[in-house]
């Protein structure tokens, strides 16, 4: 009987050790299941490192997927989500975060043929979840947001379009509380620091093939008399017109933009 009683605490200790060693796997699976159930957007996480006593959370290779009604699979590609928090504040119900990093490599906004977008759908889910503004009190000493590229895919048009913006945005917010709205003008108590973007600026991806450039040297430029308009001249003018240019008379040597 005594041996049986000793087996109970021994078994609990072994269970606690297993839970401690597998806490990161448990956290990853729990977040993935919880996110999909709460939002309808599947979530995949590469790894989660939870510091039980250090007050640090490090999530790597986080990918938010789109629901089946959207043509594109991926919504957000986030290589890292890092949070340095005060453990005691989490237990008290008033989270105090020392530092938070949200690193987004790519954001893909998709608009369906019905006019719905994944961004608006997620916003609606998040807004309806709380109903009114959350009463939870929180404090964030520093929030760092990094965004690489934003791709917009529009399937609502007869011919789908795609545009990619290279932002390389790095923005830092300081002294954020539950009353701060970082989507609008920052509060006076909030400090915002912007890091200059890549000098390359915006990058656009064109899905439609551009008309073939047409170049033809007028015959009179080579010292020969000008001949009547040929079929080649007509094709050149048609291609230039499609490209948005109106060719002038060959004798003028100029091209007028539309």
Same domain, 165 and 113: yes
Answer yes or no: is 106 within a domain.
yes
Q: Are 104 and 147 in contact (CB under 8 A)?
A: yes
pLDDT at residue 187, rounded to an integer: 54
Q: How do residues 69-94 score in pLDDT, each as one tens digit?
A: 999 999 999 999 999 999 888 888 88
214 secondary structure, DSSP code: -
Q: Same domain, yes or no, for 30 and 140?
A: yes
Residues 6+ apart with CB under 8 A from 146: 101, 102, 103, 104, 169, 170, 171
Same domain, 169 and 241: no
What's the CA gap between 38 and 51, in Å, rounded? 25
Distances (CA, A) of 253 to 117, 215, 218, 247, 248: 48, 12, 9, 9, 7
Count how many domains the chain has: 2
Examine residue 178 and state whether it is found in any structural domain, yes or no: yes
Q: Are residues 95 and 158 in the same domain?
A: yes
Answer yes or no: are the C-beta atoms of 96 and 85 closer than 8 Å: yes
Of 51-55, 89-93, 103-107, 220-224, which range is least confident? 220-224
- Whether residues 225 and 178 fall in one domain: no
CA–chain centroid gap for 252, Å, is 49
Whether residues 230 and 168 share a domain: the answer is no
Mean pLDDT is highest, among 154-163, 197-206, 243-252, for: 154-163
Average pLDDT over residues 188-211: 47
Instruction: State phi, psi for 38 to the nearest 5 degrees.
Output: -80, -35
In a domain? residue 104: yes
The confidence band for 162, taking pLDDT boundaries of 50, 70 and 90, is: very high
- Distance CA(179)–CA(187), nearest Å, equals 9
Residue 8 resides in a domain = no
Looking at the fold, whether 241 and 176 belong to one and the same domain comes out as: no
CB atoms within 10 A of CB 184: 7
Residue 13 resides in a domain: no
Q: Give the pLDDT confidence score for residue 214 in this predicted structure.
A: 44
34, 74: one domain: yes
User: How much helix, strand and coil, in percent to the nearest 5, is found in the chain?
Assistant: 30, 35, 35
Q: Is residue 88 part of a domain?
A: yes
> pLDDT band for position 144 (50/70/90)?
very high
Same domain for 168 and 40: yes
Claim to verify: residue 27 and residue 83 sit in the same structural domain? yes
This prediction's pTM: 0.65
**Rounded CA gap, 154 and 68, in Å?**
16
My answer on whether 242 and 177 are in the same domain is no
- pLDDT, averaged across the chain: 75
Instruction: Give the pLDDT score at 26.
Output: 86
What is the per-residue burial (b if ≥16 Cβ within 10 Å, else e) of 46-83?
A: eebeeeeeebbbbbbebbbbbeeebebebbbbbbbbbb
DSSP characters over 106-165: EEEEEE-TTS-BHHHHHHHHHHHHHSS------EEEEEEEEEEEEEEEE-SSSS-EEEEE
Same domain, 155 and 61: yes
Tell me if 203 is assigned to some domain.
no
- Residues spanned by the domain of 231: 219-257
Between CA 40 and CA 117 the distance in angstroms is: 14
Asked whether residue 12 is domain-assigned, the answer is no
177 vs 174, residue with greater confidence: 174
């Amino acid at each position: 009987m005594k041996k049986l009683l000793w087996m109970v605490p021994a078994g609990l200790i072994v269970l606690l050790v297993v839970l401690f060693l597998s806490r990161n796997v448990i956290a990853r699976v729990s977040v993935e299941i919880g996110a999909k159930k709460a939002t309808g957007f599947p979530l995949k996480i590469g790894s989660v490192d939870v510091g039980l006593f250090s007050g640090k959370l490090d999530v790597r290779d986080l990918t938010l997927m789109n629901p089946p009604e959207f043509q594109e699979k991926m919504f957000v590609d986030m290589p890292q989500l890092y949070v340095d928090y005060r453990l005691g504040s989490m237990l008290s119900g008033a989270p105090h975060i020392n530092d938070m990093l949200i690193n987004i490599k790519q954001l893909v906004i998709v608009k369906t043929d019905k006019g719905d977008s994944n961004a608006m759908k997620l916003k609606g889910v998040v807004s309806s979840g709380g109903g009114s503004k959350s009463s939870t009190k929180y404090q964030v000493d520093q929030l760092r947001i990094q965004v690489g590229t934003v791709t917009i895919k529009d399937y609502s048009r007869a011919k789908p379009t795609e545009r990619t913006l290279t932002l390389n945005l790095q923005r830092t917010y300081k002294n954020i509380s539950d009353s701060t709205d970082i989507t609008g003008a920052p509060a006076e108590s909030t400090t915002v620091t912007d890091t200059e973007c890549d000098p390359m600026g915006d990058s656009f991806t064109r899905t439609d093939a551009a008309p073939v450039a047409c170049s033809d040297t007028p015959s009179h430029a080579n010292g020969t008399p000008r001949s009547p308009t040929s079929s080649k001249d007509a094709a050149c003018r048609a291609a230039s017109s499609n490209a948005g240019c109106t060719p002038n008379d060959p004798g003028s040597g100029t091209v007028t933009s539309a």
